Amino acid sequence: MLNPADPAFLTALEDLLPPGTLRPVAPRYIEEPRGKWRGHAAAVACPALVEEVAVIVRAAAAARVGIVPWGGGTGLVGAQVMTEGPLPLILSLERMNRIRAAYPEENVLLAEAGVILADVHKAAEAVGRIFPLTLASQGSCRIGGNLATNAGGVNVLRYGNARDLCLGLEAVLPDGSIWHGLKRLRKDNTGYDLRGVLIGAEGTLGVITAASLRLFPKPAAEGAALMVVRDPAAALALLAMAQARLGVVSAFELISGMGLEFLAETMPQVRQPFAEKPAWMVLIDLGLASGSPEEALTELFAAALAEGLVSDGLISQSRAQRAQFWEIRETIPLANRAVGSVSSHDISLPLGEVDGFIRDAGRALAALGDWRINCFGHLGDGNLHYNVFPPQGEKPSADKAQVAAVQDLVHAMAVGRGGSFSAEHGIGRLKVEDLERYGDPAKLTAMRAIKTALDPLGIMNPGAVLR
């Protein structure tokens, strides 16, 4: 049984730490971006050194006080917000925000967990490299949180998830010991992959304090295209054609006409790409070591047009125009938030199941109500953001049973086609029941065994992922 972080505990902890490390709980620490939950906490600890993190965790373990790790607070499944139970201590990594070292000849960057993702990008650019993890929240999310959730983003197709972009970690384990795993090695077969265990664990097995990140050479030339496709099946055929003809594709994003309608409703300042809003289009992004992206994309469009896969298209002629294409994709989530969804879903599917899922899920949802569906996302890796909205002019339904029915239908259909109900956002506290319902029993047993072995007192992010 956990104890609340009471005044006596906080006073004793404060004596162990530099002045100013413990702070009052400001609203931003107990709210999540969409306003769905409001948490509680006794205090916020903001350490500046890994040794201070260790002191905090040891003290919490001795007093059996829960710890909620906090990065940038941008998570969408509530992992950073504890809404019930004994008052926890929030452990913010925001002061651990240093780039410790850069090794451009090795394509490696050492960054502390509190470095904002956009600042990781800048540090990589300063040494002539790129760090390809790219998210809508990159101006506020922090690399520790990105790793704790195994974040995805738009470049997974080419570079992989956060786990694929990390070579080593420094972390404080639940007993307060420091794991010095901040290696720069590509090969290290010396036992269990603790790095892989901590990445994606959402702070339930320890606190990531620094990471060894993989960098990549900057593409010599970059370009993008918007191409109108008749349906998701044609989009998938275009993806296969693009990979066969162009080799490596950086991003391949599916955008529905409903997403464009939402932009017109809520953000009319965003320029629409086509005079008539298409039912479906894709955004293709290329980064080439040599050659012209414009020529490559023009040739791809011509081949796809001959095959009947596309009917219209735009190819960027400048860096500014490429940025305009990406603005459309990156503002769709903001338009969604302005409209207000009934239920939002972060799912993934085998590529061969995407078209069938979109078709069948739409029909099944129509039987439950008059919904508007905005389906968009990272088609190249099968990750769809499948969001359900009320009819135009209506407010999102407050009927919890109806919302649950929509979510259950979407998740069950995704899992039934060999997919996942959580592609890149994690489990947090929002999807714990879904994990219990759809998770493989053997995997759940192994996860609980790992949790018990590393965190026997249950102090690390209690209530997240497992309960």
Q: Where are the domains of the chain?
A: 7-92, 99-217, 221-416
171 pairs with which residues across the strands? 179, 208
Task: Please classify residue 303 by burial: count the beta carbons closer than 10 Å to its beta carbon, then call 0-12 exposed, 13-18 middle and 19+ buried.
Answer: middle
Give the Cα separation of 66 and 83 in Å (integer).
12
The residue whose two tokens read 């394509």 is: 107
pTM assigned to the model: 0.94
Q: For residues 406-411, give the mean pLDDT.
A: 96
Mean pLDDT along residues 218-229 = 97
Q: How confident is the model at residue 333 (pLDDT cuts 50, 70, 90)?
A: very high
Question: Which CATH code is given to the segment(s) 221-416?
Answer: 3.30.70.2190
Class for the domain spanning 7-92: alpha beta
Give 410's contacts (C-beta < 8 A, 6+ positions apart).
Answer: 343, 345, 347, 361, 365, 386, 388
Under the banding of pLDDT at 50, 70 and 90, the label for residue 398 is: low
For residue 320, CA distances in Å to 128, 217, 315, 317, 363 come to: 21, 22, 12, 8, 39
Residue with tokens 């049984």: 1
Read off φ and ψ for residue 281, nearest 5 degrees: -150, 165
pLDDT at 36: 80
H or E element in which residue 258 lies: helix 257-266
Task: Return the number of other C-beta atoms located less than 10 Å from residue 356's C-beta.
Answer: 14
Q: Which two tokens stand for residue 288?
A: 């080439």
In this predicted structure, the answer to whether residue 255 has a pLDDT above a threshold of 60 is yes
- Considering only CA atoms, which of 161, 162, 207, 213 is closest in space to residue 183? 213
DSSP code per residue over 50-73: HHHHHHHHHHHHHHTB-EEEESSS
Say what the pLDDT of residue 458 is. 97
| Residue 40 pLDDT class (50, 70, 90 cuts) | very high
pLDDT of residue 397: 67
Give the pLDDT confidence score for residue 226 in this predicted structure. Answer: 98
DSSP 8-state class, residue 374: E
Task: Match domain 99-217 to its CATH number in 3.30.465.10, 3.30.1330.10, 3.30.110.60, 3.40.50.720.
Answer: 3.30.465.10
Round to whole Å and give the CA distance between 215 and 199. 18
Give the per-residue pLDDT at 1: 80
pLDDT digits (tens, 9 = 90+) for 52-111: 999 999 999 999 999 999 999 999 999 999 999 999 999 999 999 999 999 999 999 999
Mean pLDDT of 274-302: 96
